[in-house]
Amino acid sequence: MPRPVTLFTGQWADLPLAELAPKIKAMGYDGVELACWGDHFEVNNALTQHDYIEKIWTLLSKHGLACYAISNHLVGQAVCDLIDERHQAILPAEVWGDGKPEGVRERAAERMKATARAARKFFNGRPDPKKDFAAVVNGFTGSSIWHAIYAFPPTNQKYLDKGFADFAKRWLPILNVFEKENVNFALEVHPTEIAFDIASAKRALDAVKNHRRFGFNYDPSHLGYQGVDYVRFIREFSDRIFHAHMKDVWWGHGDGTVGVFGGHTDFADPRRFWDFRSLGRGDINFEEIIVALNEAGYRGPLSVEWEDGRMDRIHGATESCAFLRKLDFAPNATAFDAAFAKKK
């Protein structure tokens, strides 16, 4: 059977889950990837309120929706970042606290550990519990060296090594909790993270000594406009693809005044070289992605992360679901030319 098609609720957190769920079903989706912001999945409530998890599953089941992953990108970002005033807008008040950077990073790390525990409890509480099911939490890691992406002032490898060492120091204790809870952490490889392309993803894996709970939430859109081979990414990390976002992007557009770094412009500015698009309207070759995911043995959900500043989101998310339904296919179970062989 083709994979389930889900919708990542992160860009819909302005809507309460009770209002959003029927819309998701009406748009044609099989399920959701729940964001840990808005009221979609609240980590502390999942751990402390006895009926919180049951209520979420009851709501999802009422609308015929499943859930295969939760995502805590915003808090994960603060674990390694150089903290500034922008982080206050994305973090829970109790994680931000007094805003002193090291305290923010430490509280963010503890919240990510709590997210692993909440994920285990949540997936154990689903209508068809499978206690050996390796749950998935998607997210970001942040990076203490992203500001050094361009090598001036001159940046040597020793300087960058310190950034990867900081990542390992902060994330290995988190990953050990993920191991204890039988939960995988899937980093969305993305500019501003410790891993943003194939080379840095390999280096991140090396930094955490190939910890078996550290893998990737595959998203081609963040690779394509950088010039990274987004199909090769799947083949390079076939055993580390824990989840897959489906998001499109175009590049080579704009008026020539804004480059790949974005020119300090807003999304959907017509001057931009690249921008996110609704599925099928950008430059990502999803046919090649499906083939590569099949070859990698990935059978998890295809989760639409819908972002297109030029389009109504209900229209866009609906057409994206239909696009994936038409595109996805199960791998072949037998050689197509086997019938030509002569029987003895």
**Which tens digits make up the pLDDT trace of 41-92?**
999 999 999 999 999 999 999 999 999 999 999 999 999 999 999 999 999 9
Query: Among 137, 103, 101, which residue's Cα sits nearest to residue 117?
Result: 137
Tens-digit pLDDT profile for residues 279-289:
999 999 999 99
Residue 338's pLDDT band (cuts 50, 70, 90): low
- In this predicted structure, what is the pLDDT of residue 317? 98
Residue 28 amino acid letter: G
- In this predicted structure, what is the pLDDT of residue 75? 98
Contact status, residue 331 vs residue 293, Cβ threshold 8 Å:
no
The three-state secondary structure class of 298 is: coil
Write the CB contacts of 335 (distance below 8 Å, at least 6 apart in sequence).
none
Residue 330's pLDDT band (cuts 50, 70, 90): confident
Residue 344 has pLDDT above 60, yes or no: no
Residue 333 has pLDDT above 80, yes or no: no
- In this predicted structure, what is the pLDDT of residue 297? 95
Query: Among 122, 126, 75, 68, which residue's Cα sits nearest to residue 242?
Result: 68
Query: Among 72, 304, 306, which residue's Cα sits nearest to residue 187?
Result: 72
- In this predicted structure, what is the pLDDT of residue 97? 98
Q: What φ, ψ does residue 189 adopt, rounded to 5°?
A: -65, 125
Tens-digit pLDDT profile for residues 206-226:
999 999 999 999 999 999 999
Of 189-193, 283-287, 331-335, give the lowest mean pLDDT range: 331-335
Query: Among 87, 53, 70, 62, which residue's Cα sits nearest to residue 13?
Result: 70
- In this predicted structure, what is the pLDDT of residue 335? 65
Can you tell me the distance from the alpha carbon of 139 to that of 245, in angstroms, rounded to the nearest whole number?
Answer: 12
- In this predicted structure, what is the pLDDT of residue 42? 98
Can you tell me the distance from the alpha carbon of 174 to that of 114, in angstroms, rounded to the nearest whole number?
Answer: 9
Can you tell me the distance from the alpha carbon of 237 to that of 296, in angstroms, rounded to the nearest whole number?
Answer: 9
Find the mean pLDDT for residues 267-290: 98
- In this predicted structure, what is the pLDDT of residue 321? 98
- In this predicted structure, what is the pLDDT of residue 62? 98
Residue 337 has pLDDT above 70, yes or no: no
CA distances from 110 to 171, 175, 232 (A): 10, 11, 34
Find the mean pLDDT for residues 113-123: 97
Can you tell me the distance from the alpha carbon of 157 to that of 344, in angstroms, rounded to the nearest whole number?
Answer: 64
- In this predicted structure, what is the pLDDT of residue 343? 62
Cβ-count burial 108-146 (b if 16+ within 10 Å, e if not): bbbbbbbbbbbbbebbeebeeeeeeeebbbbbbbbbbbb
Q: What is the DSSP code (8-state) at residue 248?
A: E
Find the mean pLDDT for residues 133-154: 95
Find the mean pLDDT for residues 311-329: 96
- In this predicted structure, what is the pLDDT of residue 132? 67
Total-model pTM: 0.96
Percentage of residues of the chain with pLDDT beyond 70: 95
- In this predicted structure, what is the pLDDT of residue 320? 98
Find the mean pLDDT for residues 158-181: 98
Query: Among 83, 80, 75, which residue's Cα sits nearest to residue 43?
Result: 75
Mean residue pLDDT across the chain: 95
- In this predicted structure, what is the pLDDT of residue 130? 66
